[in-house]
Every structure is written in structure tokens, then in C-alpha cells.
Homo-oligomer: A and B are copies of this chain.
Amino acid sequence: MATYYVGVDVGGTTVKLGLFSDTGQLLEKWEIPTRTEEEGKYILTDIVDSIEEKRAERGGNIKGIGMGIPGPMTDDGVVLKCANFGWGVFSVKNTLADLTGVGNVKVGNDANVAALGEMWKGSGRGHDSIVMVTLGTGVGGGIIQKGKVLTGSTGAGGEIGHIKVEFNNPVTCGCGNKGCLEQYASATGIVRMAKESLREDSVLAACENITAKDVFDGAKAGDVYCREIVERFGRYLGIALSNVAHVVDPEAFVIGGGVSAAGPIITDVVEKYYNENAMYALKDKEFHLAELGNDAGIYGAVRMVLF
């Protein structure tokens, strides 16, 4: 009888699911909505129903389920609150195992799981120690050391977005602190920087709603002001990643998330400032753009239960 493995990436509005063969081939992927009402009580049952439906269609057995969650997770699959879903502290792993009868279940933080996915099937291929940073509305981080996710003692390992990078007039972050990387390297942060000191001589002056893409497009087209913002972005991220390297000394960095769609302009500028700030032994690490996009989560999730 055919055996399958499922990778699940639970986001704030949609759940992405992937059905994989026992050799790690993606057979099919689909999405369901994330029902956050009533303190997120339907989220896991909806996922379990959807997996069972897919299994029944195909016949065969589900041998393992891996899942990424946007909140701090312990190594043994306990979520330590997930504000987006209204979840408190409970074992997602045990709940999922009980609901499905599948014994091989692993649950991790979504940023860490995405990093594992990029290492397995994306631009981190061939490495076993990488740092992935995801630049979207916020800044997420995932650290893989010797093939394993570094979760930390309370699930807050790899919280790169909240490393403090600005000490002079730092901007207040959603986390309550000031000067966090997230305020300078996320899409939101780039737009804020661009608006703050906007100059008449920039192409951005004519934009109605400035986006991070406008800033990178402007810089590529030679706009001096846009280039300045890109340099500021690169300096902040380069400094933060050099901090990270002095701690975990990875083989490579992978940069993903919506902002990374701007392309090599991102890795070029980050690498420049990284090398300015890293000590000799840590210079010249590899910098890659992520390759898997939104699929990194399902790949990383299933990787935790495969092999």
C-alpha cells in the first residue's frame, strides 16, 4: 500500500499542505483557510480533516506529519502561545498525534521550518549549517546547525528580527523594544525609511503609495535617494547577520520573503556590509536568495518527519 508524508505550513490566513512520497517527492499541494475564530479551536481539526480527505482519495497510509507554526515552539512540539491564533500553551504535537493516530509527528516554528526546507531543497542545498532570514511585513529568522533546527531553550532561538541595530533615535518595534532589525529591514521598515527623509529629486516623490519594490526598482534605475535607502537597509541587515555569524558561524545565509524578490541587489548590498562587520575568520560566507518561495514551509515541515 502506498505511504505518504504530509508537510503543513500554518499561516495567519491560509494553511498550506503538501503530500509527499516516502522519498520526499512533492506529489500534490493545496491550501485551506486558517479559521482563527473561537481561539483557533478549528485550526488543527480542519487540517486533520483535509489530510484525511486527501488520504481517502488516494488510498494508502499517512506515515508522518510535519508542521510549521508562527509562534515559539519547544523542541518537543509545545507551542508557547501564538497570538495570531489565540492559542495558549499546549502540545500541538500530541494533539495532532491523537487526532490522526499518526505516531511520527513533529512541529516547529515556521521560520525555522522554512530554513530547513531551503537547506533541503532550496538554495541552501549541500550545506548543513545555514541561517535563513525572511524579509516580509516583519523579519523572521531560522537557524540550522548540523542539520538540526536551533530552537533555543524557550523557542526564541533565531529571533533575528529583534536584534537591536539602531541606538540613536531608534524606532519603536511591535515587540515593545526599540531599534530592532525588523524596523529597518522588513518591507514596512524600508518604506518607513524611504518616507521619513523623502527628497524631491527622487522618483519616489511621485509615488502615491511607496512600496519596498519601488525603492529597489528606483535604486536599480540609478535613483540616488533610493540607493541611499538600499544602503541603509543593507547596512542594518549586514550588521545583524554578522552578529549572528559571531555566534553560530554558519556555512551560508539564505535571504527570503517578499522583499527578496528584488533579486541580487539584496544579497550584494547585504554581503558588502556583512563583510565590513564580520571578523576575519567569518568573512566571505555564501549569500543566496531563497528559491522555494511559499513552498519552503511545506518542504521543511515534511523534512522533519522524513528520513
Cα–Cα, bound, A286→B83 (Å): 26
A254 to chain B: closest CB distance in Å?
14
Mask: chain A, 241-276; 1 = CB below 8 Å from B; 0 = not: 011111111110000000000000000000000000
- Chain A 162-197 interface residues, beta-carbon cutoff 8 Å to B: 162-164, 167, 175-177, 180
Are B248 and A175 closer than 8 Å at their CB atoms? no
Cα–Cα, bound, A277→B177 (Å): 7
Cα–Cα, bound, A281→B153 (Å): 11
A78 to chain B: closest CB distance in Å?
14
Closest to A181 in B: B246
Cα–Cα, bound, A247→B164 (Å): 12
Interface residues contributed by chain A, number (CB under 8 Å): 42
Chain B positions within 8 Å of A153 at CB level: 129, 249-251
Chain B positions within 8 Å of A150 at CB level: 145, 247-248
Cα–Cα, bound, A248→B250 (Å): 13
Chain B positions within 8 Å of A124 at CB level: none
Chain B positions within 8 Å of A154 at CB level: 249, 281-282
Chain B positions within 8 Å of A280 at CB level: 175-177
Is there a chain B Cβ closer than 8 Å to A105's Cβ? no
Are A249 and B164 closer than 8 Å at their CB atoms? no
- Which of B156, B180, B282 is the one whose CB lies under 8 Å from A156? B282
A42 to chain B: closest CB distance in Å?
27
Chain B positions within 8 Å of A160 at CB level: 246-247
Closest to A145 in B: B150
Chain B positions within 8 Å of A156 at CB level: 245-246, 249, 279, 281-282
Are B157 and A247 closer than 8 Å at their CB atoms? yes
Chain A contact residues, CB within 8 Å of chain B: 72, 75, 129, 143, 145-146, 150-160, 162-164, 167, 175-177, 180, 239, 242-251, 277-282
